Structure 1
Amino acid sequence: MTESVNTAEVARQYYEAMSAGDIPTAAGLFADDITWHQPGGNRFSGIRSSAAAVGEMIGGQMSVSEGTFKLEFTGGPMVNGDLAAFAVHFSGEREGASMSMEGIDILRVEGGKIAEMWLFSADQRAEDAFWGQA
């Protein structure tokens, strides 16, 4: 299997799992030492440096959004070697607030696992307002 084919397959598996709300399967694709770049200035922003830390962050997002956080891929994967980019739509609701916007996610695959992830939001201010501060 070529590097690009492997990257596309891992990326596809990740987004199929996330779109189905199957967080355990998605998390099983993370390298133990994944580096996750979460944008913005909200309670979940920053860099996570392990699969456990990313899992904790996603769990926090599900808690804050009262289980409504949803990620759907709307295009891709667009693959360049060990990188894959996806157009995504993400949404969530919580008491008194809702969020629904487009984004781009870029992941890097190494050894059949997601080694690094970068997320981009179409409206970072609105996303920050939705998640709020800790």
Structure 2
Amino acid sequence: MTDEEDGEVPDMGAAENAELIRRGYEAFNAGDLAALGELFAEDAVWYAPGSGVLSGTKQGRDAIFAYFGELGARSQGTFQATVQDIVGGENHTVGIHQSHAESNGKTLDLATAIAFVLRDGKVIEGREYFDDTAKADEFWA
């Protein structure tokens, strides 16, 4: 009996995980919350580094999407995550991108990585890492 026959969803492999994260970046940059919603588990957790106004733990898909909305609102819709590479793994997949936004005469341009944990084809955790967390905190203030 295969996993599908007994009702279990088979674990996704590294290539499938990388493709899921690539679709997530595309949906995020396009502001496509419907597509993004399909990729996140309802009880997912997101960790935003630093000590700024947007830093901290976001519990649940709704809180994560509210955070994503703040990124857009506070940058007047200019925030983009330009993918440089996605490294897929069985349990963790890492997205490496350049974060870019402009707001009130300030520019954010930081190397960023997000470590994603995936289960059953959904993101259950995202943990951001910035090249310079203090610069990110200052920009979002």
Same-fold status (TM-score > 0.5): yes
Contact 2:46 2:57 in 1 (8 A): yes
57, 80, 93: which one pairs with 2:89?
Answer: 80
Q: How many percent identity over aligned positions?
A: 25
Which 5+ residue runs of structure 1 have no aligned equivalent?
Answer: none
**With structure 1 as the length reference, what TM-score do the two structures score?**
0.89
Q: Deviations over 1:1-24 (max 9, x none)?
A: 643233223212112222444343
Question: Which structure has the greater CA radius of gyration?
Answer: 2
**With structure 2 as the length reference, what TM-score do the two structures score?**
0.85
2 CA distance for matches of 1:115 and 1:98?
Answer: 30
Matches within 5 A, 1:83-98: 83-98=92-107
Task: Tell me which moved more, 49-58 or 22-31.
Answer: 22-31
1 CA distance for matches of 2:103 and 2:60?
Answer: 27
1:105 is aligned to 114
Contact 2:45 2:126 in 1 (8 A): yes
Is residue 20 of structure 2 the alignment partner of residue 10 of structure 1? yes
1 CA distance for matches of 2:124 and 2:77?
Answer: 26
> Given residue 69 of structure 1, which amino acid in structure 2 is its aligned partner?
F
116, 125, 128: which one pairs with 2:125?
Answer: 116
Contact 1:34 1:116 in 2 (8 A): yes
Which 5+ residue runs of structure 2 have no aligned equivalent?
Answer: 1-9
Q: Number of paired residues?
A: 131
> Structure 1 pair 73/98, CA: closer, same or farther in 2 (3 Å)?
same
SS at match of 1:61: helix
- Pairwise CA RMSD of aligned residues? 1.6
Alpha-carbon offset, residue 83 of structure 1: 0.8
1 CA distance for matches of 2:69 and 2:29?
Answer: 15
